[in-house]
Amino acid sequence: MTINKKNKFMLYHLWGAHPPYILNSKSQPVKHSTREEQCLGALNIVLHYIQLLKDNNVYDKTTMIIMADHGSYAQHFSAPLFLVKPEFHKSDTIEFSDASLSYEDIHSLFLYFSGLSKEISNGKEDIFCRKQRLFFDYKWSGCIDENQRTLSKYIITGRANNNKSWKFVEYIQGHDKNDNNYILGTDIFTTWSNRQTVQKYRLGGWYWPERTHIWTRDASSGLEFSVNHGAKKDLLFSVDLVPFIKRGNAAQEVTVFANGNKVAEWNIPTGGVYTALIPASVMETDKLHIRFDIAYPAKPENETMGDGLPRVLGIAVKRLSIDLADKGTVNHASQKAEGPDFSKTPYYELGKALSFGEKDATVNARHKISGWSFQEPLNTWMDGKNAELAFRIKEGAGKDLTLELKGHPYLKPGLAAQRVAVFANDVPIAEWNMSKDGVFTAEIPAVAMRSELLLLRFAISDPVRPCENGVSSDIRELGMGVTELTLRDR
């Protein structure tokens, strides 16, 4: 609080929308709340202050400024709450202003409204007429040490809530300015285990990396690279991604910009590798700023974040790369790894039920070969169109066996059942029509058991990505979930 003979300046700081969320909309303490409820609760406290001013007959001659510290980020940009009631000013409606304003100029408002200055100015220009403002973006989350935290300088020309108004200037602190160096042809996997590398290149508009991917956030997302030997070169930008498609839409649409120039428009009905040609004319230096504008960002129907609010998703990026355009597209699948060594597959005891839930975490290491997702509490899902299991069975050669599988299908509107073809050592043994949970069986003939090794392969007809149906942010291709599996001697 500051007081002179005529005026008094008072500052009240409220917890606002920051977690933990422990206020409801009536400003009452609760154990669990949401960001929206707590915002309303904070504003309710402000209403209480206003009423106290009125009760003490000082409201009319009081200037009030109600402001947030930074607002809710969409990319690096945001539009924080900023309300002003000048003294002796009355209005039946809220008046909106398009004036440019920066928080670095707020002290000028305080001086002006306190009667200590006759001009609303920062000493150089009227702060409401500024054409450009500065913003310093500080990234700290997910950083292991202080040196990885970055402070980036931007110039804003125009509306702050429009990504096109922002121009990156330089890194101020936190790491070497060349820390986002990129070597042509390098794959960047945007996974949780690789999050420190991802942090180097991403700007705003992203959620946190997950097990296999990272989601865009809201309608715009940015990346920035210092491409070694990229200046004046035609480049090919490739992204392995999966779309989030709102129920009722056929595809997600993404416009790609390179250094502010549109270089691609992607119509994305399903996951895959999408490319954009970046012409040499936009690569004046080795700096490359990529922006994705998402046409239909949407909220998953069955998902909320920890603050009770749903995420707003566009595309899930799994891998990206930049290469010289004259090299063409890179076929990453051509680098095929050697097949598994089945001599290390453990022996299986006939009649023993194997749980595919978390209680038997050894199933993944012992018998899963390919096409399986991670183990969940009660089951493991196939991820893709094919999945394989391997078993070694003592004295199994020439035996007739029975396969029993407890499982369930993943369905969507219009898909009544999943068809699952089952093979034993490449011999077809069954085709299941899975419309609900159940026990499914198949007879393995002795002719298929040419040795003690048994390779089971499941081929699913119509795997579904939940994110392409608007249900959740899950990018896996789900078709059949397995709870338990047993092999028996006939």
Q: Are residues 191 and 330 in the same domain?
A: yes
Enumerate the H helices of 272-358 as residue ranges: none
* Number of domain units in the chain: 4
pLDDT (0 to 100) of residue 329: 47
Q: How far apart are CA 250 and CA 277, in angstroms?
A: 25
pLDDT of 175: 47
Q: According to the per-residue pLDDT averaged within each range, which of 4-8, 15-19, 351-355 is highest?
A: 351-355
- Does pLDDT of 100 surpass 50? yes
> Is it the case that residue 74 has pLDDT exceeding 60?
no
Same domain? For 351 and 476 the reply is yes
Please determine, for residue 394, whether its predicted confidence score (pLDDT) is greater than 80: yes
Q: What is the DSSP letter of 347?
A: B
Q: What is the pLDDT of residue 303?
A: 67
Give the CA angle between residues 403, 406, 408 to the nearest 5°: 130
CA 82 to chain centre: 29
Q: Is the pLDDT of residue 125 over 70?
A: no
Question: Within 13 A of 350's CA, how many CA atoms are on the CB side?
Answer: 14
- Say if residue 315 is in the same domain as residue 371: no
Instruction: State whether 195 and 321 are in the same domain.
Output: yes
Which region among 165-179, 222-236, 255-269, 385-399 has the lowest average model confidence (pLDDT)?
A: 165-179
479 and 464 Cβ atoms separated by less than 8 Å = yes
Average pLDDT estimate for 288-295? 92
Q: What is the pLDDT of residues 352-384, one digit of tens each?
A: 999 998 766 566 567 888 899 888 888 999 999
CA distance 413 to 470: 12
Residue with more model confidence, 205 or 146: 205
Looking at 80-194, list the stretches that DSSP marks H as alpha helix, in order from N- to C-terminal side. 106-113
Give the pLDDT confidence of 313-348 residue by residue, as tens digits. 999 999 999 999 986 543 333 333 345 678 778 889
**Choice between 199 and 57, residue whose per-residue pLDDT is larger:** 57
pLDDT band at 267 (very low <50, low <70, confident <90, very high): very high
Give dist(CA 292, CA 192) in Å, integer.
Answer: 21
Kindly report the backbone phi and psi dihedral angles of residue 430, in degrees, each rounded to the nearest multiple of 5, phi listed first: -170, 160
Confidence of residue 290 (pLDDT cuts 50, 70, 90): very high
Mean pLDDT, range 91-106, rounded to an integer: 77
Is residue 416 domain-shared with residue 355, that is, in the same domain?
A: yes
Are 52 and 166 found together in one domain? Answer: no
Domain encompassing residue 379: 342-489
What is the pLDDT, as a whole number, of residue 399?
Answer: 92
Q: Is residue 110 part of a domain?
A: no
pLDDT at 331: 39
What pLDDT shows up at residue 160?
Answer: 74
pLDDT at 176 over 50: no
Assess if residue 104 is contained within a domain. no
Residue range 202-213: mean pLDDT, rounded? 86
Same domain, yes or no: 80 and 136: no
Of 96, 116, 142, which closes a domain?
A: 96
40/139 same-domain check: no
pLDDT band at residue 199 using 50, 70 and 90 as cut-offs: confident
Instruction: Please check whether residue 479 is in contact with residue 412, taking contact to mean a CB–CB distance below 8 angstroms.
Output: no
Task: Say yes or no: 309 and 186 in one domain.
Answer: yes
SS3 219: coil
pTM comes to 0.60
Does 295 lie in the same domain as 188? yes
pLDDT tier for residue 92 given thresholds of 50, 70 and 90: confident
Same domain, 80 and 151: no
Q: Which residue has the higher pLDDT, 460 or 113?
A: 460
As a whole number, mean pLDDT of residues 144-167 equals: 69
Q: Which residues contact residue 365 at a Cβ distance below 8 angstroms, ignoring those fewer than 6 apart?
A: none
- Spatial distance between the Cα atoms of 110 and 139, rounded to a whole number of angstroms: 29
pLDDT of residue 337: 38
Q: Which residue has the higher pLDDT, 4 or 279?
A: 279
Mean pLDDT of the region 56-70? 88
Average pLDDT, stretch 51-67?
91
Kindly state whether residues 316 and 218 are assigned to the same domain. yes
What is the rounded average pLDDT for all residues in the chain?
83
Element holding 354 (H helix, E strand): strand 354-355
Check whether 55 has a pLDDT greater than 60: yes
- The answer to whether residue 370 sits within a structural domain is yes
Identify the pLDDT of residue 333.
35
